[in-house]
Structure 1
Amino acid sequence: MVKTWLLDKVQGNFESPATLAIDHFWRWISTSASHLHDPNIYRFVHGLMRKTFIQMLAEFKRLGSHVIHADFSRILLATSKPPGTAHAYATYITTAVTSHELFEHMYLKTERFYDFLLFMDSANMGGIVCEDPLAVDPPEELTIETRWNIQTFLPPAIQDDFGAVIQFFIVELFKIRQKHSEGSRAPFRVLRNMAPELTQPDPSKINEADATREFIARKLTRKLLRLVGVIQAKQRDASIDEELNTQFQFPVLPGSHLNMTNALLEFIKFTSTVLGLASDYQVEIGLLKRNLLDLAGVREFANEALFRNPCEPLKLPNVPCRNCDTLRDFDFCRDPELMPYGLDGARPRWICGGCGGEYDRIAIEMELVRLVGSLERTFTQQDMRCGKCKQVRSDNVSRHCHCSGPYQLVLSKPEFRRRLRTIVNVAIVHNLSRLRVSPLHY
């Protein structure tokens, strides 16, 4: 999905559901001793937070914004505002939302604007950052921000090629849009019979779409075909060169769960998936993908051509800071701030973004151990479900459903093993000894 003039990171303290009293009560629960913690109270307060958060997102939509991504720490909005007015709109929308009685104890802060953005998920995105949202004229130099977690799962020899292609695509599409949006704001016209001319399309939009299709069909296709040929030549050389062969080996990361062997095929799948985020040009991107797959000797609708995210996420939600009680979601497989750094795998310090204090690693590790126990109970105590009509088995005797369908596990054994393997990988990478011992017997 391609959006323009994106308002990113509307920060807020969503610990408070609606009133300051509940906020103080929630902070007391978070800092209480373990024997005072009641799961029912936690579930009740978290339910209030969730309901209030959903109502706030509905308020953003009512005010004319499109919600791209939202969690308790960040909201990503897409607007149609031109340069120079996006900052004023951000001020208006945050003021209008917080003036509501239900959200008066929430604090929203606008941190970043994007002129252009390709968004896949919170860990895979790239775009043009608007450094000066008050400026009317376009910037002389573009500030590009790219964050692609899937890139790290490609072999080191082609990771830079993937990043260069995506950056080239983002910059060229932004330049095309910038070129055809100049002077698109026509002066006011007199409407006959008070009826707008809805049947006439915008000429600038048509020209922009035609120019983008021409760019994909010509420049982008030629660039990728040439790059795929270069990768094929390197891959052939790597089969006889041991040192170069190591550069075409797929890295094993904490979230790895796929058995990938063909570097060229994975490069084509990853690149085509990211380019396909431009939803208005699915036909052109589909033709490009088919031509690239032909070079790799794979049919377009084959099972090998399907893209699957190579990273299995492991999230620990609502981790509190022991100094300021700020909540944060820990994504151990995709957050670069949590990953070890350096050649020796030095352990990073998990720092709170609010106060700069360090998180309690032992407490986080014990929460992951409890997560393993919860996953075990979920698997052993789960219901059987019909594979045909999806109804839960109502007795303990019948082997088949009344519709003649076989009963199956809701959480299958392969899925259960894959989740446990991800937890083991996280324990090994982050040197969590207690967690590493707990699930290994599975």
Structure 2
Amino acid sequence: HPEAAKKIIQKAISEYREVNCGPTVAVIECPDLNSIKEGIKALDDFPCVRIPFNRDENSYQPVSWQRPAAKIAMFRCAAAFQWLDRRIAQSRYAHVPLGNFGHDWLTFTVDIFLSRALRDQQQVLWVSDNGVPDLGGINSEETFFADEVQQTSLVFPGAYRKVSVEIKIHNLAVNALLKSNLVSEMEGGAFLGFEQDVNTKGSSSNDNTSFDETTGSAQAFRVLKQLIRNCLTDVLKSGNIYADSILQRLSWWLCSPCSKLHDPALHLMLHKVMQKVFALLLTDLRRLGAMIIYADFSKVVIDTGKFDLSTAKAYCESLLTAVGNSDIFELILLEPVHYWHSLLFMDQYNYAGIRATNDEISPDEVTIEPKWSIARLLPEYIQKDFIIIVAKFIFDPWKFALEKKKGSSESLEAQMVEYLREQIRSNFINMLVKKVGDIRSHMKEINVSDASRVSGQAPKGDYSLEFIQTISAVLALDQNVLQDVLVMRKNLLKYISVKEFAAEAEFLDPGPSLILPNVACSNCDAYRDLDICRDPALLTEKEWSCVDSQCGKIYDREQMENSLLQMVRQRERMYHMQDLVCSRCNQVKAAHLTEQCECAGSFRCKESGPEFLKRMEIFLDIAKRQKFKLLEECTSWILQPFSC
């Protein structure tokens, strides 16, 4: 019983206090610290330090729970000594009393460092507990309500039959911050017109510098830059691991509403510089001969243009060395993560490829990794055949090229294209006709599970048509055989009595998109936007976790829910305060009292009620699937007037 356990601990601590009179600190790991201290009054005599609680270790079976609980307790007690040593070292580095640290030492430390630096520069702090900066006379709800800085991403769909490589980008935020002056100089001073040297004494009142909400954060931007430069010096001179952690997680701190000094304007300012550095990086890669397949702030996928894996690795190494020699990319680390012998790529949620494991590989050892979000709306039976057919579309040309590898690359590529065309005209068309016939005869009564669809994804009912649309869209990614795929699609549509150019024959990505921006992993600093409605890893009832293969840490549920709640609040506010536009000329209504536009057109809302309803239903579906109670309550309340 909990009360009996508290009495035993109370007695043990009292006996310890009578015997030992030296300095003592209580290290506590529990779900609720207040209830523990209320039940164990002896803890009031000691300074208490709390270890972050892992709720996964609090789930036990109803029967025979004692042994696992005791095992976990002993393990955590043994690990507490190492944790305390680290916390003491962190306390010494931050010059903060040991017991003053919160759950997240890194956020707390950066807040402390920045607060001290701002105070030294005679700056007023905008400390806030709700993630919205306290700016005094400025209406924070109006100016800084939304912190939706969308990540830049580039997608070039296609079939890449040569070796491709995924390169992870490290330290982009730190590099952009410390190289912001260089970026501004490259832009002729117009990119960050207010970004002047720290020692600059004022400016002319006649300067035509553009002003927006980020301008007020210019001084804070300079202070943050100096702070990060000091951390970099600590890393280079003494190898300080805590300074290194601050550098690695800078982007996470910037977009974390848990920070007391969270400022969306400061985040937006750095984001602009990151965009420019990112664009320069891609330009440099293209200049050196790389073909971009996909790129965002955390990774870039390129086509090396080499058939041989060892040659592709050597090319990639020389490419990264050349990029690293540039002064503007001095702090960026580019790390090759994965290689593919062949890659069929639609977007970051829809692709498949032959993963390269070593230089010498036989067709029997091939592993094809399929990730097709667009196939999730098909019944499971059809999904399996879809994946098999697409895998064959990737594997057969690669196997053919492997057998004909002795020729030149140009002739080999031409032979591979001709081989694939022959396969489409004979093998693939016969296979697909047979499959479509099988779907029409056996799958008429099947119902797709509601769990596989989110709101806004209504089943079309004709799964043979859905299958033809989806498989044709995927195979058409290879531009070399596009005409052959279109002819095959025409014949398949004719088989089910659908015209080639009919509206129902057009492929549309069936899923809505809902972006949760600026999600950074607190463990590995992977920084990306989450598409909650399209990413297959987020469409299950499992807890959301980092996608990095070397991390996998579960995201903070409370922070995720709070971010979604903020998005719901913003969308509701935008819906009620939206402009009226003319239904004929699309001009925004300027005169408040006029009933009609000057062109005699009637006015309508920019966002209609059904569109807003559809958006809110998506949030409600996510809340139910992830068991976000507060989000579910909020969206249900918003949807009440629409259900009447």
Q: TM-score range by the shorter chain?
A: 0.7 to 0.9
Q: Equivalent residue for 2:381?
A: 157
Query: In structure 1, what is the Cα distance between the partners aligned to 2:472 and 2:453?
Result: 23
Query: Structure 1 residues 227 and 32 mapped into 2: Cα distance closer, same or farther (>3 Å)?
Result: closer
Query: Structure 1 residues 155 and 287 mapped into 2: Cα distance closer, same or farther (>3 Å)?
Result: same
Does the CA contact (< 8 Å) of 1:387 and 1:408 recur in 2? yes
Q: Which of these residues, 173, 194, 204, is aligned with residue 15 of structure 1?
A: 173
Q: Which of these residues, 440, 454, 478, is aligned with residue 232 of structure 1?
A: 440
Query: In structure 1, what is the Cα distance between the partners aligned to 2:565 and 2:257?
Result: 20
Q: Equivalent residue for 1:193?
A: none
Query: Structure 1 residues 317 and 28 mapped into 2: Cα distance closer, same or farther (>3 Å)?
Result: closer
Q: Equivalent residue for 1:98?
A: 324
| Structure of higher CA gyration radius | 2
Query: In structure 2, what is the Cα distance between the partners aligned to 1:32 and 1:122?
Result: 27
Which digits, 9 at most, give the CA deviation of each residue in 1:358-386, with x for residues without a partner?
42211110110001111122333333445
Task: Name the amino acid aligned to 1:158.
Answer: I
Q: Equivalent residue for 2:399?
A: 175
Q: Equivalent residue for 1:119?
A: 345
Q: Equivalent residue for 1:130?
A: 356
Query: In structure 2, what is the Cα distance between the partners aligned to 1:124 and 1:399?
Result: 48
Does the CA contact (< 8 Å) of 1:385 and 1:409 recur in 2? yes
Query: In structure 2, what is the Cα distance between the partners aligned to 1:178 and 1:352?
Result: 32
Does the CA contact (< 8 Å) of 1:321 and 1:327 recur in 2? yes
Q: Equivalent residue for 1:195?
A: none
Q: How does 1:264-413 map to 2 (within 5 A)?
A: 264-322=464-522, 326-340=526-540, 347-348=542-543, 350=545, 353=548, 357-386=553-582, 390-397=586-593, 407-413=603-609
Query: In structure 2, what is the Cα distance between the partners aligned to 1:53 and 1:291?
Result: 44
Which digits, 9 at most, give the CA deviation of each residue in 1:275-310, with x for residues without a partner?
111122221111111111122221111111111112
The TM-score, its normalising length taken from structure 1, stands at 0.83
Deviation at 1:72, TM superposition (A): 1.6
Which digits, 9 at most, give the CA deviation of each residue in 1:386-440, with x for residues without a partner?
5565544444355565566665544444433322222111111111111111122
Does residue 428 of structure 1 match 2:624?
A: yes
Deviation at 1:327, TM superposition (A): 2.8
Q: Equivalent residue for 2:295?
A: 70
Aligned to 1:127, the other structure's residue is in SS state strand
Which piece of structure 1 moves more, 77-86 or 12-21?
12-21
Query: Structure 1 residues 309 and 94 mapped into 2: Cα distance closer, same or farther (>3 Å)?
Result: same
Which piece of structure 1 moves more, 317-326 or 402-411?
402-411
Query: In structure 2, what is the Cα distance between the partners aligned to 1:259 and 1:355?
Result: 35
Does the CA contact (< 8 Å) of 1:153 and 1:251 recur in 2? no
Q: Write out the 4+ residue segments of structure 1 that deviate beyond 6 Å after TM superposition.
A: none
Which piece of structure 1 moves more, 148-157 or 314-323?
314-323
Q: Which of these residues, 399, 408, 417, is aligned with residue 613 of structure 2?
A: 417
Query: Structure 1 residues 284 and 63 mapped into 2: Cα distance closer, same or farther (>3 Å)?
Result: same
Task: Name the amino acid aligned to 1:365.
Answer: E
Which digits, 9 at most, give the CA deviation of each residue in 1:1-25, with x for residues without a partner?
1112111243433322424464557
Aligned to 1:112, the other structure's residue is in SS state strand
Task: Name the amino acid aligned to 1:12.
Answer: H
Does the CA contact (< 8 Å) of 2:252 and 2:520 recur in 1? no
Q: Equivalent residue for 1:41?
A: 266
Query: Structure 1 residues 112 and 35 mapped into 2: Cα distance closer, same or farther (>3 Å)?
Result: closer
Query: In structure 2, what is the Cα distance between the partners aligned to 1:270 and 1:294?
Result: 16
Query: In structure 2, what is the Cα distance between the partners aligned to 1:316 and 1:324?
Result: 19
Task: Name the amino acid aligned to 2:436.
Answer: V
Query: In structure 2, what is the Cα distance between the partners aligned to 1:26 and 1:230?
Result: 51
Does the CA contact (< 8 Å) of 1:180 and 1:205 recur in 2? no
Query: Structure 1 residues 401 and 169 mapped into 2: Cα distance closer, same or farther (>3 Å)?
Result: farther
Does the CA contact (< 8 Å) of 2:582 and 2:597 recur in 1? yes
Does residue 54 of structure 1 match 2:279?
A: yes
Which digits, 9 at most, give the CA deviation of each residue in 1:256-292, with x for residues without a partner?
5234211111111111111111122221111111111
Query: Structure 1 residues 181 and 439 mapped into 2: Cα distance closer, same or farther (>3 Å)?
Result: same
Does the CA contact (< 8 Å) of 1:151 and 1:159 recur in 2? yes
Task: Name the amino acid aligned to 1:213.
Answer: R
Query: In structure 2, what is the Cα distance between the partners aligned to 1:40 and 1:268?
Result: 47
Aligned to 2:172, the other structure's residue is in SS state coil
Q: Equivalent residue for 1:184?
A: 408
Query: In structure 2, what is the Cα distance between the partners aligned to 1:65 and 1:7?
Result: 10
Does residue 80 of structure 1 match 2:80?
A: no
Q: How does 1:201-216 map to 2 (within 5 A)?
A: 203-216=411-424
Does the CA contact (< 8 Å) of 2:579 and 2:606 recur in 1? yes
Aligned to 1:7, the other structure's residue is in SS state strand
Does the CA contact (< 8 Å) of 2:251 and 2:520 recur in 1? no
Deviation at 1:330, TM superposition (A): 2.9
Aligned to 2:518, the other structure's residue is in SS state strand
The TM-score, its normalising length taken from structure 2, stands at 0.58
Which digits, 9 at most, give the CA deviation of each residue in 1:43-90, with x for residues without a partner?
112222222212211211111112121112221112212312110111
Query: Structure 1 residues 328 and 53 mapped into 2: Cα distance closer, same or farther (>3 Å)?
Result: same
Query: Structure 1 residues 56 and 356 mapped into 2: Cα distance closer, same or farther (>3 Å)?
Result: same
More helix as a share of residues: 2
Query: Structure 1 residues 161 and 64 mapped into 2: Cα distance closer, same or farther (>3 Å)?
Result: same
Query: In structure 2, what is the Cα distance between the partners aligned to 1:404 and 1:297?
Result: 44
Query: Structure 1 residues 150 and 26 mapped into 2: Cα distance closer, same or farther (>3 Å)?
Result: closer
Does residue 107 of structure 1 match 2:264?
A: no
Query: Structure 1 residues 234 and 383 mapped into 2: Cα distance closer, same or farther (>3 Å)?
Result: same
Overall identity of the aligned pairs, in %: 31
Query: Structure 1 residues 400 and 285 mapped into 2: Cα distance closer, same or farther (>3 Å)?
Result: farther
Query: Structure 1 residues 54 and 98 mapped into 2: Cα distance closer, same or farther (>3 Å)?
Result: same
Query: Structure 1 residues 51 and 410 mapped into 2: Cα distance closer, same or farther (>3 Å)?
Result: farther
Deviation at 1:95, TM superposition (A): 2.0
How large is the RMSD of aligned CA atoms in angstroms? 2.9
Query: In structure 2, what is the Cα distance between the partners aligned to 1:203 and 1:32?
Result: 56
Q: Which runs of 5+ in 2 are unaligned?
A: 1-157, 179-223, 229-246, 640-644
Q: Equivalent residue for 1:217?
A: 425
Task: Name the amino acid aligned to 2:294.
Answer: H
Query: In structure 2, what is the Cα distance between the partners aligned to 1:230 and 1:325?
Result: 48
Query: Structure 1 residues 150 and 45 mapped into 2: Cα distance closer, same or farther (>3 Å)?
Result: same
Query: In structure 2, what is the Cα distance between the partners aligned to 1:256 and 1:406?
Result: 29
Query: Structure 1 residues 49 and 203 mapped into 2: Cα distance closer, same or farther (>3 Å)?
Result: closer
Q: Equivalent residue for 1:190?
A: none
Query: In structure 2, what is the Cα distance between the partners aligned to 1:334 and 1:216?
Result: 29
Aligned to 2:282, the other structure's residue is in SS state helix
Does the CA contact (< 8 Å) of 2:167 and 2:334 recur in 1? no
Q: Equivalent residue for 2:50?
A: none
Which digits, 9 at most, give the CA deviation of each residue in 1:169-198, with x for residues without a partner?
11123234445553115xxxxxxxxxxxxx
Query: Structure 1 residues 54 and 378 mapped into 2: Cα distance closer, same or farther (>3 Å)?
Result: farther
